Chains A and B, each alone.
Chain A
Amino acid sequence: MSVKETNKVLQFGNEAIAHGAREAGCYFAVAYPGTPSTEILEVFSTLPGIFAKWSPNEKVALEVGIGASLTGSRTLVTMKHVGVNVAMDPLMTFTYTGVRGGFVLVSADDPELHSSQNEQDNRMLGKFAKMPVFDPSDSQDAHDFAKLAFEVSERFNTPVMLRETTRIAHAKGLVELGEWAEPVRGENFVREINRFVMMPAFAKPRHTFAENRTLELKKFSNEWEGNRLELNDKKVGIITSGVAYNYIRELMPDASYLKVGMPWPFPDEKARKLAEHCDRVLVVEELEPFLEEEAKIAGIAVEGKAYFPREGELNLDKVAMGLHKAGLLDNAPQPITGAPVIARPPVLCAGCPHRGIYMALKKVNADVYGDIGCYTLAALPPLETLHTCFCMGASIGNAIGAKLNEQNPQHPQVAVIGDGTFFHSGMTGLLDAVTSDVNITIVIVDNDITAMTGGQENAGTGHDLMGNTVPTVQIEDVCTAMGIKHLTVADTYNYDKTVEQLKAAIEFDGPSVIIARKPCALFPKKKKIDPYVVLNDVCNGCGACFRIGCPAISNSGKTTEKGLTIAMIDPDACTGCTLCQQVCPVDAIVPMTREEVTA
């Protein structure tokens, strides 16, 4: 067993959670990557004596985690907030059965939607699922709460939610680390039919167990020092949690506080003590009025969302504005406006293999039902060739539903889904397309990796998180086995051929699949072939290359005789994919000569 000396290090919240879990003796960790949760497993997988793996989706990850806990292993499962929606089915029943080995689910919420399709507040899901919820305010909390969560899980026989937000996950702060406990790995599965077979007769008493457990956890919440009561100035008391604590505490250092580290079950007795001490109680929290409603249910008069926004992240200025509205700050913070500056919208990378298929989809003017991944960016100018995006795996179902209902079809109906997303939850949609015999085309953009979250392994990658070689699953085998009769593999760097293949797939009567296959331009290794260059005297300024949306192509600042903009290619960014060359009508784009490259 290795022992770490106690010291303070600068860590992201996600690193701190991985270390906290390891200190608690967590052996097994499983996840599906999703911003802002991904780094927890990436860090955990590097620590000694443990096992960590990705699963194809959050539901499977949670189920794998349950299996691990049933053998007695201390288990960590991580996902982003919307991932918990996918895992909700097993979770809702796991909270009835309880655990064997300690079980912690990290839900990484994303207020402000930095990289998400919604900003749901999963403290509410924790309450709904009847599991205790911890809510850290900084990296130290993240570390300490992760460690404590395992203890609470085993002591109260419950899965525990550790809910963090982007501003915790991806912010660095100093952390005092502790010692590593021996990882607890299960001996074997132990049969216990009346606890782990949740059919009605067995599930009913488990529901009673869960309700009684919540009462016990409420006692814990009222006693635990992490729900910290600081009784100072009597004028105003603040109930707060998560990152919001830092903002309000910086603005009102002398007020009285209940800093809530465990929002559910809510520490109502401590809140009552705060209310008794103070003339007035404000609740400062991001997103939903969770603490506010809990306080009100407990009969405590508080004010919250009347002054502070329900949408987006909070910050010092928004909290100061709320205090001003509440009459606690004389001067409203004055907005400072800057100079108008150019936009830098997110774009597909230079050399991105997704670009070619979208150019082809634009050419055939398809209605494109999209999915979650880098390829969602094709919705933005100049491609604008993706027309829906709801959640992981939604594209194929959306296309089926639209095709079955369109009375007056205008365009080909095409679903676009990435390899990681196809394995996550696209396969059942494909099955529906086959059995509905619906005339849609499904494009599976296969870049061998889960790219948008930074390049994680998936079922097609061939190695796992720990670096072991593992069997791969071929997407074409899956499609053929499911009964797809028209299947082609496209090289998306060949534009004309890709258009031809796409047209043939659309013309096929019945569901057809195109696998657009090419490795990601960035992961695992940045792609680099000799760059291309624009011949200024040949370019006619037509703008065809601008319209493919490549970040390596920009305005040269020069114009043609007719005053049209001449393009310029950044040789450092260009990967040599040649798509711009293929669309240039006057052959103005040519490979850079060897001499030019070295110069």
Chain B
Amino acid sequence: MKDGMTNVLVVGVGGQGVILASNILCEVAVRAGMDVKKSEIHGMSQRGGVVSSHVRFGEKVLSPLIAAGQTDVILGFEAAEALRFAHEIREGGTLLASTQTIHPPKGPERKDSVKYPANPLEDAKGVCRGRVVPIETQKIALELGNPKVTNTILLGALSTSLDIDLEVWRETIKAMVPPKTIELNLQAFDRGRKAVEDAG
């Protein structure tokens, strides 16, 4: 959060909801009265590729992309994807990542290719210049009885690292999720916050 600019990188695998989460984050920032830019990189396939979404907000945003190693917060939807981008965290930044793992299809794997890491978020600690906070999104979602709230759990976690009024977050979530799921999503949001607080 250098020079009043906040850089958030939302990463995961195509189909996980990375784009939706970054859209909600953008809306939160707009409602908080800031200038916002967002830019995505995703591969050619409709499903299963690496997705990363750059969100920048502050008084005036120029570049739609974050400079190398200048990310304040990474929100990782998948553990190996969090590892892939962990070095982008600036000194003192935060990597918030789901412990969920998604293995790529076996077919395209070559003998010499890198294997899926045994513990991606442990590896991330070796690369990341900031704090690494694993979040057991699947476990929390199961406790809440709905696998679809992973997204909101992670946004709750993210809210602990950003200087934006909690009311703005809650109002935006209320406005952007299906009406019947508002209560469930607000619970998920709080559980995401708690997960980070419990991690200390």
Contact = CB atoms under 8 A, between A and B. Distances in A.
A114 interface: yes
Given A167-B64, A173-B64, A338-B127, A344 B13 contact: yes
B126 interface: yes
Contacts of B62: 245-247, 249-250
Contacts of A337: 87
Contacts of A347: 45, 48, 105, 107-108
Contacts of B63: 246-247, 250, 315-316
Contacts of A451: 46
Interface stretch (A141-149, A261-269, A292-300, A374-382): A374-382
Contacts of B41: 114
Interface residues of B, number: 53
A167 B39 CA distance: 7
A243 B64 contact: yes
Interface in B1-55: 13, 26-27, 30, 35-41, 43-50
Given A171-B38, A339-B84, A452-B46, A10 B27 contact: yes
Interface in B70-88: 80-81, 83-88
Interface string A336-354: 1111111111111110000
Contacts of A316: 63, 65-68
Contacts of B114: 340-343
Contacts of A315: 63, 65, 67
A174 B127 contact: no
A349 B45 contact: yes
Given A115-B44, A522-B47, A554 B87 contact: no
Contacts of A172: 26, 36-39
Contacts of A246: 62-64
Contacts of B126: 339
A546 B107 contact: yes
Contacts of B83: 338-339, 341
B85 A342 contact: no
A338 B37 CA distance: 25
A49 interface: no
B16 to A, nearest CB: 12
Given A10-B27, A336-B87, A555 B106 contact: yes
B109 to A, nearest CB: 8
Given A315-B67, A336-B87, A551-B47, 10 more contacts: A171-B37, A172-B38, A335-B68, A338-B85, A339-B124, A343-B108, A522-B46, A546-B107, A553-B107, A567-B106
